[in-house]
Amino acid sequence: MASVSDFGNLHGMSILIIQENKKARFDYEIVDTFEAGLMLTGSEVKSLRDRNVQLKDSYVSFRGSEAFLQNAHISEYKASSYNNHEPERLRKLLLNRIELDRIFDALREKGYSCVPLKIYFKKGRAKLEIALVKGKKTHDKREAIKKRDADAQLRSTLRRSR
């Protein structure tokens, strides 16, 4: 079941976050984000509600002029029978033409990729937050680790001083 912290409030609408791709935020510098709908089967939606999804190595690719989510693993729904889905099938992303063109043009540039950041339910519909990203260099990752450790140490000293 969802905890209170799983519910966000985005302009008065409650959202239920299913899975976040924390590795993407660590490995890449985020340039721009988009909200995309997902074309899913019934058993995939039920599996998402059970939080059986893995976004770690997934990415967005184009087939013609349409965007698809690749390598996202949505586990088979246990209670479903013969009409279960394939766990790592291509899933079409629902974006408007302007957004699709912007992402496609950026992907043709050197060094840009498009990866999912999180999957969530908004008004009962499954949504995917995708981002145009540039790869971080190793020294940038080291700086991120140092900053995270320094912030954690600062928080712990503040807690002890109270």
Residues 34-87: tens digit of each pLDDT: 999 999 888 888 888 888 888 888 888 888 889 898 888 888 887 777 777 777
Higher pLDDT, 139 or 18: 18
Mean of pLDDT values over 98-105: 90
Mean of pLDDT values over 145-162: 85
What is the fold of 4-136?
Small Protein B; Chain: A; (2.40.280)
Give how far Cα 158 sits from Cα of 17, 123, 162, Å: 30, 39, 7
pLDDT at residue 97 tops 90: yes
Supply the pLDDT for residue 57: 86
CA dist., res. 160 & res. 162, Å (int): 5
Mean of pLDDT values over 124-138: 85
Q: For 88-112, give the secondary structure using H, E and C.
A: CCCEEEECCHHHHHHHHHHHHCCCE
Taking the model in full, what pTM does it have?
A: 0.72
Supply the pLDDT for residue 68: 92
Question: Where do the structural domains in the chain lie, given as residue ranges?
Answer: 4-136
